[in-house]
Amino acid sequence: MSFVKPSLKGRALRLLSGREYSRAELVRKLHSFEEESGALALVLDELQAKDFINEQRVIESVVHRRAAKLGTARIKQELQAKGLNPEAVTEALTDLKATERERAQEVWRKKFGAPPVDAQTAAKQMRFLASRGFGADVIRRVVSGKLDDYSC
């Protein structure tokens, strides 16, 4: 039985069937399989023209998957790493900033559930939320329990 090597288009479609990828991500993943210079760009142009590659869907997918667990800063970092349009990323993050406190509160509640009993515990909780990409002001308010007087 002979093995048929998948084409660039086949490889790209296989990747896209699993999740949304940006064009830059596909270039990084598939460039080593390009046998003829410019072939990958042509394949990606075709897939983009047919709307298989869509930057807005990539942004929406990442935001949908990650918003419940991560803060705006971490999500921004992920989106930037995907090589997406900076204006589109900024626009998507505007909505996330409005829910930052609620999301941080929920992440904190699931992980800790109780206010810190001492400074060491408070620092641990703050480091945890910071590592998830939440802002310092939001972290302070969530960990200290001062949620009523804060609006995003």
Report residue 150's pLDDT band, with 50, 70 and 90 as the boundaries.
Answer: very low
User: Given a cut of 50, is residue 139 above it in pLDDT?
Assistant: yes
Buried-exposed string 79-111: b where 16+ CB fall within 10 A, e elsewhere? beebebeeeebeebbeebeeebbebbbebbeee
74-110 pLDDT, tens per residue?
Answer: 999 999 999 999 999 999 999 888 899 999 999 999 9
Q: What is the pLDDT of residue 39?
A: 93
Q: For the structural domain made of 1-53, what CATH number should be given?
A: 1.10.10
Q: What is the pLDDT of residue 14?
A: 96
35-76 pLDDT, tens per residue?
Answer: 999 999 999 999 999 999 999 999 999 999 999 999 999 999
* 81 close to 73: Cβ distance less than 8 angstroms: no
Q: Specify the CATH architecture of the domain 100-144.
A: Orthogonal Bundle (1.10)
Q: What is the pLDDT of residue 2?
A: 60
Give dist(CA 26, CA 43) in Å, integer.
11
Mean pLDDT over the full length of the chain: 91
